[in-house]
Amino acid sequence: MSEFLSSLRLLKRMNWLMLAAILGLIVIGVFFIYSATSMREDSTADLFRKQMVWAAAGLGCYLMTAMTDYRRLRDVSWGLYAMGVILLVAVLFFGTRIYGAKRWLMFLGVGVQPSEIGKLAVIILGACLLSPLVEKYARLPSLWKLFALAGVPMLLVMKEPDLGSALVFLPIVTAMLFAAGTPVRPLVTLMAGGALVVLLVLAAVALPERLGMTPEHQEKFFQTIRLSDYQRDRIAVFLHPGKDPMGTGWNKRQSEIAVGSGGLTGKGFLNGTQNILGFLPRTVAPTDFIFSVIAEETGFAGALLVLALYGILTVCGLYAAMVARDKMGRVLCVGIVTMFFTHAFVNVAMTIGVLPVVGIPLPLVSYGGTFMVITLFTLGLIQSVYVRRPGL
């Protein structure tokens, strides 16, 4: 009981600016989920209410996590990792298939993306492994061991297939290793290797056609390198934006029009033409393309506000890393901020058409229950590190 009270007292040391930014993003999210669904008559018109419920649950979770000492994670890190891997295997068998990909597991009517849990598990395990209890004597685990540990869930995510989420593992692990003091040279080598893989994938998609391969040969080639049609389409659309305006390229094009036509101050709340007329597909407007709705209705000013709030969160998160009492806290914060930042960056970048359309939502803003709760849980971990900073 006294422990509970003392942790409650700890909450007073919380980074209030960070909490304000979080609340700001959540409020913006609720408003524009409402805008994105307001003209609909089916059950989706209720999404903003559900989002509020999820946000409330998430904020509760956030406070609980902030009160709990992050160092306790050491006890559960391996277990969490194992659970993550099991779920990722399970989703391949029992997942709900949406648009040709199995990414969701349904528990009692609530959808969970195991890839989210996988990322979280890798961050927590990585933070533990990179900060041995007795720092002085410890030696860092080899780069390869860590990459192997991160690689298992990453490959499973790729198998779903969810290329976008899988690639998010790379910056997370790289940033954590870098922050943990891993020598730069092998790290750079690794990053170069990763970049090479990405380039190879892009080349594999783009080149066969350019080289004049017949469609049958292209088919065979893609089968050999195990790149699914769906993945190829997404990447191909990124490479050739004008191609197939009503197919995969549609969302990207319409999102660009939505953002672009927003102008400096936007068309006003509930007045986003692209959204109302359904050019911005109604299924993705409140989720992956919520930023388009915001940018169309509030213009550059509103879009910049959202970016600024993410900037505040990033600064607060990394500040927590800097003032953390131990290495585990530091690495943990860096991992979480990197995940969070990568999600936000990739989502906005795909909305404005500079990155391919990958199914990554905008943290705290996009509609999505479990994603909201998990995001707030990770941000709660940052607060947990922050409130336990030295200098009581």
Partner 1 sequence: MPAANNTINSELGRIRLILIIMLVLLALLGGMLFSLQVSREGEFEESLHRQSMRRIRLPAPRGLILDRNGVALADNQPCYCLALYLEEIRKPGKWKYTVAEIQRRITELAVLIGRKPVITEDDIWLHIRRRLPLPLVAWRSLDPAALARLTEASCDMTGVDIYVEPARIYPRNELAAHLLGYVGKAELSDADIAGYQYTLPEMEGKMGLERKFDKVMAGEAGGRLVRIDASGFKHAEQVEQEPRAGDSVILALDSRIQALAESAIRDVPGAVVVLDPRNGDVLALASSPTFNPSQFVPIVPKVLWEQLNADPNRPMLNKAVAEVYAPGSIFKPVTALAALNNGAVSVGMTVDCPGYYMIGKKAMKCWNPNGHGRVDLRRAIEQSCNVYFATIGVKCGNDAISDLALLFGMGAKTEIELDREAPGLVPTPEWKKNAWRDDWRVGDTCNFSIGQGALAVTPLQMALMAAALANGGAVYRPRLVTALRDWQGTILTNFPSVKVRQLPVAPAVMEAVRQGMHDVVMAPTGTGRRAGIPGVEMAGKTGTAEYGQKEDRKKHGWMIVFAPYDKPRYAVAMVVDDAVSGGLTVGPRVHELMLGIFGGTPATETGAGG
Site residues (vs partner 1, CB under 8 A): 135-136, 175, 178-181, 256-257, 259-264, 273-274, 276-279, 281, 295, 299-300, 303-304, 307, 310-311, 314-315, 318, 321-322, 327, 330, 334, 337-338, 341, 345, 348-349, 352-354
What minimum distance in Å lies between the beta carbon of 327 and partner 1? 7
| Residue 144, burial from CB neighbour count under 10 angstroms (0-12, 13-18, 19+) | exposed
Tokens 């290495």 sit on residue:
327
Nearer to partner 1, 128 or 158 (CB): 128
What minimum distance in Å lies between the beta carbon of 154 and partner 1? 20
Nearer to partner 1, 244 or 256 (CB): 256
* Cis preceding linkage at 363, omega within 30: no
With a CB cutoff of 8 Å and minimum separation 6, the contacts of 86 are none
What minimum distance in Å lies between the beta carbon of 321 and partner 1? 5
What minimum distance in Å lies between the beta carbon of 228 and partner 1? 26
Nearer to partner 1, 101 or 337 (CB): 337
Hey, is 96 helix, strand or coil?
strand
Nearer to partner 1, 71 or 102 (CB): 71
H helices, E strands: number in the chain: 15, 3
Report residue 180 as tokens: 């943990």
Hey, is 322 helix, strand or coil?
helix
Q: Which residues is 104 bridged to in the sheet?
A: 96
> Which residue, 22, 29, 25, 27, is CA-closest to 59?
22
What minimum distance in Å lies between the beta carbon of 73 and partner 1? 20
Cβ proximity of 180 and 130 under 8 Å: yes
What minimum distance in Å lies between the beta carbon of 245 and partner 1? 10
Nearer to partner 1, 86 or 301 (CB): 301
Nearer to partner 1, 159 or 327 (CB): 327
Nearer to partner 1, 20 or 304 (CB): 304
Cβ proximity of 127 and 71 under 8 Å: no
> Which residue, 361, 343, 384, is CA-closest to 54?
361
What minimum distance in Å lies between the beta carbon of 291 and partner 1? 10
CA distances 19 to 138, 228, 329, Å, are 35, 41, 19
